[in-house]
Amino acid sequence: MTPNAKQTTALGPLKSLATQPTEACPPEALDLARVSLLDWLACGMAGASEPVAQKMRRFAAAETTTGPGASMFGGGTAAARMAAMVNGTISHALDYDDTHFAHVGHLSVGIYPAALAVAEASDQSADALLSGFLMGAECAVHIGMMLGTAHYNRGFHQTATAGAFGATVAAGRILGLSRDEMQVALSLCATRASGLKSQFGTMGKPLNAGIAASNGVEAALLAQLGLSAAEDGVFGPQGFVDTHVDQPNDWPVASPRMRFMDNLYKFHACCHGLHAMIEGLRGIAADVDPTLVDSVQVRTNPRWLRVCDLKAPRTGLEVKFSYAWLAGMVLAGLETGDEGLYTDALAQDPALTALAARVEVIGDASLTDQQVVGTVRLRNGTDLAFHHDLNAPAAPSELMTRVTAKADTVLGARANPLVALMAKIADAPSAVSAREIGALIRG
């Protein structure tokens, strides 16, 4: 089958998925959507004082707003499109948010900001918010899988590209778009979706998530207003897929288990590509004196070498994308889940610099992008092997417990009202207004 044949057969299934009733989804998928909501809110609230957050709120303040606004992390309201951009950027500022490896990106930071902005501006419930996010996330995963790693390896940031389509679906469902309007919205999104990996290690990376969320709101609102668009701007000739990947994968086959259920959550405040190594090294770190380490060899999927293998990070942000520095932090006993440790001074630490110089990172195509194997060699010749696979199943209830603990770590006492609100949403999501969530994130 030619690439164009693949593309022209996918719009129907995408439109069907985008407009599928939430009742057709398994209950555990909505449970996991609540986990993602807590994780996203905690990351956004924790990042609300970051320099990029302050700049984004100043950017929003320069725009005039008419009609009901939507809340921004850290204070203030803005038009839904702008609020989505601000909140997407802020919630990705710490790079501590969830990841879906088949989608090859972060779901919540591109989709929940769009969903919340539209739900709050139209005074809808947390039930509508969760449902919109869930189906938006599922669509984003499907598009991400079709684009595949070839799209990512070319230099596109799938959080922003595939994620923008998820944001469009979420916003469109909450706005009540018809099937035809949803098709137009997706086609409009195709001409807006963007985001490059060249921004990694700068404020441009979290902005990519904000752009995805903003694009989704814009596309849905314009479709609602009756704007026309290409019949199939996503999969048709010269559409998004045709222009952004040479050999797209087939549209994922139908599965009774939603692919969103493979979403993973971060418990270390750095790029998710480093987490398997961190978990593996933590298993042997108690037996290692960092001053006696002769060498560290890390074998990882080759795609991560272009993402998080910075050899000499210059800033705290860049440390989050360095195998060598994170290996040194684990072996030195530093808490990789403590966002406050990732400072510019850490990048210049002489002990970590010396230890990082002894770390060798090797691409190994036999490993999945969630696996790592390696060896720590001590100066006495002892070899300590380590390995880890992030793809270990966990129930939503277990994940909720861990994400609640994460919220406590990053927010302190500010986590209490957030956790209480999440309990209310779990009990009766239709009784909780999105505006109540908005009031919470404004602080």
pLDDT at 256: 82
* Dist CA 230 CA 183 (whole Å): 9
Rounded Cα distance between 205 and 200, Å, is 5
The pLDDT of residue 400 is: 97
- The pTM of the full predicted model, rounded to 2 decimals, is 0.85
CA 84 – CA 110 distance, rounded (Å): 9
Radius of gyration from C-alpha coordinates of the chain: 21
Q: Strand 383-389 vs strand 371-378: parallel, antiparallel, or unpaired?
A: antiparallel
- Maximum alpha-carbon separation in the chain: 72
Which uninterrupted H or E stretch holds 411? Answer: helix 396-411
Q: Given the DSSP bridges, would you call strands 359-363 and 293-300 parallel, antiparallel or unpaired?
A: parallel
* pLDDT value for 64: 67
Interatomic CA distance for residues 92 and 84, integer angstroms? 12
**pLDDT tens for each residue of 177-194:** 999 999 999 999 999 999
pLDDT at residue 9, as a whole number: 55
> How many residues appear in the chain?
443
Q: Rounded mean pLDDT of the chain? A: 94
- For residue 306, the one-letter residue type is R
Tokens at residue 107, please?
Answer: 């779901």
* CA separation for the pair 360, 348 (Å, rounded): 19
Domains, the chain: 3-264+395-442 (1.10.4100.10), 272-389 (3.30.1330.120)
DSSP class of residue 269 equals: S
CB distance 166 to 104 below 8 Å: no
Structure tokens at 139: 């669509």
- Within 209-311, strands assigned E span 293-300
The stretches in the chain having pLDDT less than 50 are 1-8
Summarised one tens digit per residue, pLDDT across range 275-315 is 999 999 999 999 999 999 999 999 999 989 988 999 999 99
Q: How many CB atoms lie within 10 A of CB 22?
A: 16
What is the rounded distance in angstroms from the CA atom of residue 54 to the CA atom of residue 274? 28
| CA dist., res. 89 & res. 91, Å (int) | 6
